[in-house]
Amino acid sequence: MGSRRQAAVRAPRFTGRDREVVAIAQALAAEPAAVLVEGEAGMGKSRLVRELLAATSPPGSGRILVGTCPPFRRPFTLGPVVDALTSTVDRVEELGLSPLGGALRPLFPEWTAGLPPAPEPLAEPTAARHRLFRAVAEVLDRLGPQVLVLEDVHWADEATLEFLLFLTARPAPRPSLLLTYRPEDVPADSSLRWLASRLPEGMARLRVQLAPLDVAETGRLVSSMLDDEPVSAEFATFLREHSDGLPLAIEESVRLLCDRADLVTQDGEWLRRALEDIAVPPSLRDAVLERVDRMSAPARDVLRAAAVLGDPIEEAVLLAACDVPESQRPQAVAEALGSRLLHEDALGRLSFRHALACRAVYESIPIRQRRGEHLRAAHVLEGLARPPILQLQRHFREAGAVDEWCRYVEQSADLAMSSGDPRTVAGMLHEVLTRVDLPAATVVRLMGKMPLLMVWVDQGLLHDLVEVLRRVRDDPALSSTERGLVGWQLGRMLLHTGDYAAACRALERAIPDLAERPLDDLHATIMLSWLSTTHGEAGDYRRWLDRAAAIVADPATPAPNRLAVHADRATILLVLGDDAGWASAAMFPTEGGTPDELSQIVRGNANLGEAAMQWGRYDEARQRVTLASRLARTHGYQRLQDQCRSINLRLDWFTGAWDGLADRATALAGLDEEPTIQVESLLITSQLQTAAGDWTDAEQTLRSAVELGRGGGVLIDPSLTPAAGLARLHLMAGRVDDALEWTEKPLRLVTEKNIWVYATDVAPVRVQALVLAGRTNEATALVTAYARNLGDRQAPAGQAALLLCRAILTEGRGEPTRAAELYGQAADTWQALPRPYDALLARKRQADCLLSTGHPDDGVHLLTQVRQDLADLGAHGDAERIQRVLSERGGQRRRPRRGPQGYGDDLSPRELEVVRLLATGQTNREIATALGLSTRTVDAHVNSAMRKRKVNSRTALAMAAAVAGFVALKPGS
């Protein structure tokens, strides 16, 4: 398999707050106002301020001062105001302060040289504070800011809050205030409550309460972090529930899920792989623990017990699991509930309100104490009428009780598999197998429960299990059958690490010990039939195929196993270019009864469809893949459905169905658990980039595909075709030596494995490079070998590529007339598949030969037609290159494009539609769906609208549209 690639995560787009930004901006612009933005930790208050400041500034271009209140137990006097001023004022002496400014010296030591002399000290503290307030206000007057922004004023020192009251009580002019705070952390006697309720006449007040994001907004926020790919409703709901809609919690959770590679795509949508605990982001941990530290010891004990238990639990169970004296329990629970960290659900169960807060408290418990609390919790839960198995295995694991842990892991694994959650099973089993030394027989039993589908996508997990199996393989306590099972398990894991030779050895060693396990024997034999095509003696693959056929000849063999052997036999033969595979493929069924039978039918038809595509039999390929895709979709075989999508992607490229192809390729590129599919998607992307003339991007994409696919296939290295694509790019750029280097290994692979039906893309490029390098004899030998091995096989793609190779070789020998004929034949053969792009490239070569043989009119005419056909197909880069040739020869030029009606700096009707939807918070993808446009078209409209309105963000565009009256947004709506 290729190396695993993690999902790329961007900073989240500002989501769900556009209307609040508009309301705040309008309030601040209308008149001096006090705007109070409240929301609990992580709700996005600071982000809202940043977006507001980035998107707009109040009329008159006045300055905005920004300060933040630090979370100190004893904050510095006027700390946030001092910080705001010192970050703004460079030379205080230029402000022309009155002698009152001398009172600022204690607060602003860095300003000492520019301040007036210190005034006489005042005996009365109230008078001294009032003088200080007047001095600070004078600085503000000189600066003339229109808005003073202070964040986290729930942490503000009392002097700062009193200064704000002083500031609002002054006669105009006075700045507007924008304050953010957490209402739950505002002390009952805080002056902030006065500020929020009592303002002087003439000063408007706006209170904005930031609500949690809903499911749709959560989905949009997550999508913005994942390159605007859609996310599933299930995933959005999962995050909404486990983050309570806190933007910060959502963001940190997505980052953690991506770090763990717990995100995958399905049908072009991001979704979580499994419902797992989410580690707590440090930024929230500090906030939670500060609140916990302020509580009484009994309440902290209750919170710790709740954190250890994790799930909602009855109060009696919670109290039994914590070490709180009975007399103190009611008050402790009441205090925990009053903190809003703990809450009671409709069923009367207690749990943390936020999963992240729960994790913060849990991780603050010392490890030794945590083990004891887990053991106590486990014993309490075991005594329940219905012990919770999943929770018990977790508690015994954390308590270090290995025997109990293993017992409940097996029960939990069975339960999870029955619930269709193989990832949870893989995680639990991997953990117990690798964290403790278990008896060999226990390892065999647990490995038998391992869902390898989940293991294959994680190379680290895979290598861990390989080491475990190697450790126990020669344990004398194993029976022969158990030793055979270990060898079979080891062989199939080594296969997916890419160590094929070791996999062969392990499987061959295991098979004699599997006599009493015929199905495992069959699976090992089928796997050996694949591996021996390249890592065994010549013809070994037929020996193993025949052995598999003999095993399934037993009437007792289950039908799914017979289908698997049938499909693999036909596919292996076709991959190796054996025509006998078609007779076997023709007998493969297209329908079945049981789910296991249907799974093999889908897999078999998908593999046979891919083989047909490689041969160039596109009609048959499309029929088989369409059937497989329909069955996979109907019965929920997602991996097989993804495989079908990948094959269809390549078929669409070949047959010229390029409309929307780039978007579909991009969607498949996100399947981190399917490197082979990722390689295919990158390949298609690079081919589209090459056809468009984006050679630099194409080269980068191809290099990624080569790296991802290198060594990732048992028989066919997925990097073979991308390497050929890179070589073609080098040839187009005149780098012949590089082209030779990139085609050497792929051709050697084709030759050594005798898989000439896979030489379609690489052979013509190799021949061209050899000819240009003057190595005509080698080119001739290659074409001869290609013809001999391809023979008269009904492989239209290979036959077309062979004609192209012959034409290139003939042209290199200086026979342009004959070469033109061969290029024409190659083009006809490509077109018959159909494979129009390759046909047009061959026609272009034919035209070049005609131009050099004294038939310029014929050559120009053919080039002109090819240029138009390439442009119609979407290969604009190739069309442009031909146009340059035609222009140099004085041939037909392009007709000038007639653009649509111009609107100057005004928004076009379509741009207005886009902006109106944008202002409601919709993403470009959602706007595209609503208007029936492509996402790229919407991107262009948004960029054009931002340019015309002279703004540089979506929020600023929404603001500008609201001010201009294009968008009917009202403050507070």
Domain ranges for the chain, please list them.
Answer: 18-209, 215-272, 658-889, 909-964
Dihedral over alpha carbons 403, 406, 412, 418 (to 10 degrees):
-130
For residue 632, give the amino acid letter. Answer: A
C-beta separation of 51 from 17 below 8 A: yes
Query: For the range 366-375, what are the long-range contacts, defined as Cβ-Cβ under 8 Å and sequence gap of 24 or more?
Result: 370/308, 370/398, 371/398, 371/399, 371/400, 372/399, 373/304, 373/305, 373/308, 373/321, 373/322, 374/308, 374/398, 374/399, 375/399, 375/401
The 3-state DSSP class for residue 14 equals coil
| Cα distance between residue 354 and residue 363, in whole Å | 14
**Domain 18-209 in CATH: superfamily?**
P-loop containing nucleotide triphosphate hydrolases (3.40.50.300)
H or E stretch at 36: strand 33-38
Q: Which of 394, 397, 378, 390 is nearest to 415 (CA)?
A: 390
Give the H/E segment covering residue 204: strand 204-209
Strand locations in 616-673, DSSP E? none
Bridge-based pairing state of the strands 269-272 and 342-344: unpaired
For the domain covering 909-964, report its CATH number.
Answer: 1.10.10.10
Q: Is the separation of the CB atoms in 803 and 622 below 8 Å?
A: no
- Determine contact, residues 901/909, Cβ cutoff 8 Å: no
658-889 homologous superfamily = Tetratricopeptide repeat domain (1.25.40.10)
Coil/strand/helix, residue 762: helix
Residue 1: the pLDDT is 36
> Contact, 141 vs 148, CB < 8 A?
no
Cα atoms in the Cβ-side hemisphere of radius 13 Å centred on 413: 21
Residue whose C-alpha is closest to residue 446's, from 415, 406, 416, 476: 406
How high is the mean pLDDT in each 10-residue block of the chain (973 residues)? 50 87 84 87 84 65 73 64 83 88 83 86 63 87 85 82 84 83 79 72 84 92 87 84 82 69 62 50 65 88 94 90 90 88 82 78 93 95 84 88 89 64 73 87 85 61 87 88 91 81 89 89 84 62 82 85 88 87 93 82 94 96 95 80 92 94 85 75 92 90 83 64 92 92 90 86 95 94 95 93 97 94 96 95 95 86 93 91 83 40 63 82 79 72 78 76 59 39
State the pLDDT at residue 127: 63
The whole-number pLDDT of residue 896 equals 36
Q: Which amino acid is at 670?
A: G
Sequence-ordered strand ranges (E) for 832-965: none
Per-residue pLDDT, 898: 36
- Using only C-alpha atoms, the chain has a radius of gyration, in whole angstroms, of 35
3-state secondary structure of 641: helix
Q: For 383-388, which contacts have Cβ atoms below 8 Å and span 24 or more sequence positions? A: 384/317, 388/311
Angle (CA) 136 141 142, round 5°: 100
The DSSP element (H or E) to which 194 belongs, if any, is helix 192-197
The overall pTM is greater than 0.85: no
Q: What pLDDT is attached to residue 892? A: 46
Q: Are 147 and 58 in contact (CB under 8 A)?
A: yes
Q: Where are the alpha helices (DSSP H) in 321-458?
A: 329-338, 355-363, 367-382, 389-399, 402-418, 422-435, 440-447, 452-455
DSSP 8-class letter at 313 = B
CA angle 695, 699, 700 (to 5 degrees): 120
3-state secondary structure of 941: helix
**pLDDT value for 704:** 87
Reduced to 3 DSSP states, what percent helix, strand and coil does the chain have, rounded to the nearest 5? Answer: 65, 5, 30
The per-residue pLDDT for 903 is 56
Q: Identity (one letter) of the amino acid at 804?
A: L
Structure tokens of 221? 């926020």
Tell me the β-bridge partners of 180.
37
DSSP conformational letter for 231:
B
